[in-house]
Amino acid sequence: MKETEGERVHDPVIFQNSLDGIDMKNNIVATYYMSDRLPGVDFIDHYKLIESIAIEGSTGSWQRVEEESDEVRRMLSGKLVGYFEIPESDEFTKSAVIQLAFPINAWHDNVPMMLLSIAGNCFAYSQKIRLLDVAFPENMVKNFIGPKFGVEGTRKLLGISDRPLSLHIIKPKMGMTPKQTGDQVYQTAIGGADMAKDDEMTSDTYNNDFRDRLKYVMDAVNRAEKKTGKRLIYFCSITDEVSKLHDKAREAVELGANGLLITYSVGLSAIREVTSDPDINIPVMVHNSHMIAAINAISWPVFTKLLRLCGADQTLTPTYWSSIPMVSLEEGLRCQHVAQAPFFGFNKMWSMPAAGTYPGLAPILMSEYGRDIIIPSGGGMLGHPDGYTAGAQAWQQAIASVMEGVPLAEYARRPENKALRRALEKWGYLERPTTPWLRVAPKFHPKPFKLGED
């Protein structure tokens, strides 16, 4: 169907829809923020721009051709289901939050094709556009299994029921021999670390093949278990070309791995292939450093949802209190919310507030994220003045102080908590700022006091 004189300015097939009226079982709904400015132009038709985004993410291009009929558009095109204008003081700027629905019968459960619809050509059209959220439909999600272990399954493996988990990030990122790696893990394991992981940059180098590294580290895990009675989970880095990744994961399992580390750079489909293999029955952690490049275009909670959908058991998330606070406080916390919110019956996924963490942050992180978090630490564990074992002990003591409701500094003064005391002396600790009561003057804020004795 070609455009003819007298047609509607905005195609009703694209625009005459609402969130209430679409088939939520068969449409994915993507929510965007978009803002566009044309200096000197006091008429901006935002809907024509949105029409281009909806069409470019589905059936068409800048020029409609005869074969792109109304039926094709009804069946396959993106459709506007929500437009919420944001008032602007600048008359040359138009900003809004919009929601586009894309029917899944265009690609079913094909993740790469889905990403082309919701996170493809749209970024070429609006001057400032960010994908804020994605709502997945039931008839797509039923083809996914989500995290095999997640929060509860991992707790069962470790025998730890209700506290946060500490994780040793092996450093340096690359260059250590397999024996050096195993020796480092042994030292943190006997100090109480619950988990250890390769750095995301660790790969097969001239002096460190994953097979040899896995052998030495798992030997260290076994020796530490004999000494402490506690078995650490080691996430072995297997990131590689897609053609090698699955076989590498299977081989790691055969060699005795009890955890795998994959980076987001391999792609969601590659991650999904590994996590959905029933023979790979160990937790899979996904490292997200490759996602940083897309922060301005895609919100971190969207990535978190995608990783949960594709089967990650754990993933690192940004925190405002880290050495690199990449997103706002609220966006970082939202990652944990969507990782553990009800989601088609999937297991909850671990959130891992990361980057530059040290024991003095335990009270803040636990107050914000609760107990179902993994706290990863590299330099903040290995940089302890009394060594690696003391660094792992300091984290366990910091977590225990919060679990027992004892202020961190007070807990550190106890003689048995020397490791925590020494960590606080080196790195200190933070007290989380509080937001005053809203909408009323400070003089009306409640002030606690003690009642006198009768």
- How far is CA 12 from its chain centroid? 37
Phi and psi of 262, rounded to 5°? -130, 145
State how far the Cα of 107 lies from the Cα of 117, in Å rounded to an integer. Answer: 9
> Mean pLDDT throughout 302-307?
96
pTM surpassing 0.85?
A: yes
Token look-up 């709502």 returns 135
> In the β-sheet with 260-263, what is the strand arrangement from edge to edge?
350-354, 314-318, 284-287, 260-263, 233-237, 195-197, 165-169, 374-377
The closest of 94, 75, 69, 72 to 84, measured between CA atoms, is 94
> Mean pLDDT throughout 323-328?
84
- Cβ–Cβ < 8 Å for 348, 283: no
Q: What is the pLDDT of residue 204?
A: 84
Q: What is the pLDDT of residue 437?
A: 66
Is residue 258 over pLDDT 90?
Answer: yes
Q: What is the pLDDT of residue 206?
A: 86
pLDDT category of residue 285 using cuts at 50, 70 and 90: very high
Residue-wise pLDDT tens digits, 30-40: 999 999 999 99
Radius of gyration from C-alpha coordinates of the chain: 26
Which residues make Cβ contacts (< 8 Å) with residue 266, sequence separation at least 6?
239, 240, 242, 245
pLDDT category of residue 67 using cuts at 50, 70 and 90: confident
- Structural domains in the chain, CATH included, are 15-141 (3.30.70.150), 150-427 (3.20.20.110)
The partner residues of 260 in beta bridges, in order of sequence, read 236, 284
Is residue 4 over pLDDT 50?
Answer: no
